[in-house]
């Protein structure tokens, strides 16, 4: 059976020998570290829900390789229905975790690498696709969480990989051997890296001939020799060390991002899926980014559902739920959130089959989806802050609430409507804070902005995919312009 239980997933992580630095120290036991743990819980949720019959349609699928049931995160989309279900699964998980659940990057990576290796082989006579199929088979059988790793540190953005002062700022081959390659460099902003079994590396930009060493895709175990991680710090991360249950806002779930360093890592040829084919680098980026831009039309919508709900609860607790402006703001938040969802669904429903047989989203609409994600969560958050009230950021700590001397004072003065215990109000406001300013804001705001490519990257794609020439012809036809150059 290809589905791991959540317990098996946690156990499998414990067996990994990940080398992780966090705030200047090597972490003994990442799985139980209070700062890391919530992110593991989020990934674990993807295993837990896959076990539940009521979510089977969304959380699992039938492998096109084996005919067995696999977690959808390990699946290649076989229809537009699969693409749509992917988005619905992501919304579900966003609702249940109120966080980035991190496993999407692997799903998006395998779907992109699949069709690109196929097309590469078709054109260049290479055999990457078969290698990749072997990797995918194991991934499905073991129900791995895979970190699809794309973004390099990039250094000076005005220079290409091979022109950087330091040649290692993009991941590259430093040695080609008979049995494999040795790679060096780093991937930045790696979502869920510490919770993954394997890494699937891809290049991060379209490349020219000079960048051949950087046109690189391969898979490696997360704890391969030479790989180590430096954990990124988030707003309010250390609240998780305080031992409380309220001030963290979201006690159980979270996300993380880390720097993943490749310090001369050996990769056998069987795990190499691109090596020097610069002309396919841009295509791989475009496809992975496209899938990942679709993803945001699901996951961020789910988180948005929680934030809208939290704002509504906060309004109830302070006796303002019936004010017409509050109701109108909740409608606006819902409207914006559902617009994101509509974009996620539309780019899926309008997907098409690739040469390799899996399904690709409509790229124009996927980019439109992500472009909206760089805007609306910010406005939803702003409206949530409006409804929640200033108390969200001026409230005492839970230690004050539990202090024998002043706890009663806190309870007395921060009570809202009389029949709701003050602690509940504190909880809901801390959740709003968590999503708008705290650890989850990193996912709900900044990641919405920069994940799967910064806003300008989508605009470039919209320009390319928007077919402006056709639009100009339509306008000329209506205007009766048959000849527009002087003869």
For the annotated catalytic residues, the residue numbers are 100, 104, 191, 257, 292, 296, 299, 447
Does 391 interact with a second copy (rule: CB under 8 A)?
Answer: yes
SS3 331: helix
State the minimum distance, in angstroms, from the CB of residue 141 to a second copy: 32
Q: What separation in angstroms does the CA of 364 have from each of 346, 352, 371, 391, 465?
A: 10, 13, 11, 42, 6
Show contacts with a second copy in window 297-326 (CB under 8 A).
305-310, 312-313, 316-320, 322-325
Between the CA of residue 29 and those of 25, 145, 236, 257, what are the distances in Å? 12, 19, 21, 17
> Given candidates 189, 240, 287, 293, which one binds a second copy under the rule CB under 8 A?
189
Per CB under 8 A, 264 contacts a second copy: no
Residue at token pair 């290409």: 160
User: Contact at 8 Å (CB) between 248 and 434?
Assistant: yes
Cβ closest to a second copy, residue 137 vs residue 393: 393
Residue from 127, 130, 210, 328 binding a second copy (CB under 8 A): 328
Q: Which residue has the tokens 């961020």?
A: 300
Return the range that interacts with a second copy (CB under 8 A); candidates 38-46, 51-59, 175-183, 346-354: 346-354
Establish if 390 lies at the interface with a second copy (CB under 8 A). yes
Q: Is 324 exposed, middle or buried (0-12, 13-18, 19+ CB in 10 A)?
A: exposed
- 80 vs 278, which CB is nearer to a second copy? 80
Q: Binding to a second copy by residue 446, rule CB under 8 A?
A: yes
* 206 forms part of the interface with a second copy (CB under 8 A): no
Interaction of residue 253 with a second copy, rule CB under 8 A: yes
C-beta of residue 223 within 8 angstroms of C-beta of residue 248: no
Q: Using CB under 8 A, which of 44, 172, 239, 287 touches a second copy? A: 239
List binders of a second copy among 147-166 (CB under 8 A): 153-159, 164-166
Long-range contacts of 447-451 (CB under 8 A, 24+ apart): 447/100, 447/191, 447/255, 448/296, 448/300, 448/373, 448/374, 448/377, 448/378, 449/374, 450/189, 451/189, 451/191, 451/292, 451/296
Q: In this structure, is the dihedral angle defined by the CA atoms of residues 345, 9, 100 and 161, taken in order, positive or negative?
A: negative
* Residue 243 binds to a second copy (criterion: CB under 8 A): no
Would you count residue 269 as binding a second copy (CB under 8 A)?
no
- Cα 252 from chain centroid? 18
Residue 444 contacts a second copy per CB under 8 A = no
Measure the CA–CA gap between 152 and 171, rounded to whole angstroms. 7
Please say whether the beta carbons of 343 and 368 come within 8 A.
Answer: yes
The site string for a second copy over 91-130 (x = CB under 8 A, - otherwise) reads ----xxxx--------------------------------
54 contacts a second copy (rule: CB under 8 A): no
341 binds a second copy (CB under 8 A): yes
CB closer to a second copy out of 52 and 471: 471
For a second copy, give the closer residue by CB, 53 or 390. 390
Angle between helices 363-373 and 281-317 (to 10 degrees): 40
Among positions 113, 346, 361, 373, the unique one binding a second copy when judged by CB under 8 A? 346
Residue 191 among known ligand-binding residues: yes
3-state secondary structure of 423: helix
Q: Give the span between the Cα atoms of 302 and 296, in whole angstroms.
A: 10
Distance between CA 161 and CA 273 in Å, rounded? 19
> How many residues belong to the site for a second copy (CB under 8 A)?
161
Q: Does 28 bind a second copy (CB under 8 A)?
A: no
For residues 215-234, which are near a second copy according to CB under 8 A? 228, 230-234
x-or-dash string of contact with a second copy, 56-95, rule CB under 8 A: ----------------------------x----------x
C-beta of 124: minimal distance to a second copy in Å? 32
Closest distance between a second copy and the C-beta of residue 259, in Å? 6
At closest approach, how far in Å is the CB of 268 from a second copy? Answer: 25
Query: Which of 330, 371, 364, 383 lies closest to 455 in space, CA to CA?
Result: 371
3-state class of 295 per DSSP?
helix
Choice between 62 and 474, CB closer to a second copy: 474
Annotated binding site for FAD: 191
């Amino acid at each position: 059976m290809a589905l791991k239980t959540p317990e098996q997933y946690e156990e499998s992580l414990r067996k990994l020998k990940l080398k992780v630095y966090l705030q200047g120290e090597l972490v003994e036991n990442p799985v139980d570290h209070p700062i890391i743990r919530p992110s593991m819980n989020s990934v674990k949720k993807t295993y837990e829900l896959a076990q539940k019959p009521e979510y089977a349609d969304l959380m699992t699928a039938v492998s096109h390789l084996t005919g067995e049931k696999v977690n959808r995160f390990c699946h290649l989309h076989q229809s537009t229905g699969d693409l749509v279900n992917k988005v619905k699964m992501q919304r579900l998980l966003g609702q249940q975790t109120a966080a980035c659940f991190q496993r999407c990057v692997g799903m998006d990576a395998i779907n992109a690498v699949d069709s690109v290796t196929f097309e590469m082989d078709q054109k260049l006579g290479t055999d990457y696709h078969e290698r990749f199929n072997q990797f995918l088979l194991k991934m499905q059988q073991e129900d791995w969480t895979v970190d699809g790793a794309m973004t390099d540190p990039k250094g000076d953005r005005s220079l290409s990989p091979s022109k950087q002062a330091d040649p290692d700022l993009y991941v590259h081959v430093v040695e080609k051997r008979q049995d494999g390659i040795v790679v060096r460099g780093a991937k930045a902003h790696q979502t869920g890296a510490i919770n993954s079994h394997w890494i699937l590396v891809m290049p991060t930009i379209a490349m020219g001939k000079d960048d051949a060493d950087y046109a690189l895709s391969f898979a490696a175990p997360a704890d391969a020799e030479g790989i180590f991680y430096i954990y990124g710090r988030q707003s309010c991360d250390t609240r998780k060390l305080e031992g409380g249950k309220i001030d963290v806002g979201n006690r159980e779930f979270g996300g993380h991002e880390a720097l993943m360093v490749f310090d001369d890592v050996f990769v056998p040829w069987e795990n190499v899926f691109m090596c020097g084919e610069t002309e396919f680098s841009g295509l791989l980026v475009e496809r992975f980014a496209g899938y990942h831009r679709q993803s945001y039309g699901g996951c961020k919508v789910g988180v948005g559902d929680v934030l809208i709900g939290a704002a509504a609860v906060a309004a109830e607790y302070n006796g303002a739920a019936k004010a017409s402006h509050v109701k109108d703001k909740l409608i606006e938040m819902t409207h914006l959130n559902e617009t994101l969802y509509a974009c996620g669904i539309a780019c899926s429903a309008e997907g098409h089959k690739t040469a390799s047989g899996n399904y690709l989203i409509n790229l124009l609409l996927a980019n439109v989806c992500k472009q909206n994600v760089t805007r609306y969560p910010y406005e939803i958050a702003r409206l949530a802050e409006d409804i929640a009230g200033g108390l969200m950021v001026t409230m005492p700590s839970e230690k004050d609430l539990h202090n024998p001397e002043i706890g009663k004072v806190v309870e007395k003065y921060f009570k809202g409507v009389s029949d709701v215990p003050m602690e509940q109000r504190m909880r809901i406001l801390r959740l709003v804070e968590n999503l708008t300013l705290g650890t989850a804001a990193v996912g709900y705001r900044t990641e919405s902005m920069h994940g799967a490519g910064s806003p300008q990257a989508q605009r470039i794609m919209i320009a390319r995919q928007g077919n402006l020439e056709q639009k100009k012809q339509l306008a000329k036809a209506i205007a009766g312009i048959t000849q527009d150059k002087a003869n």
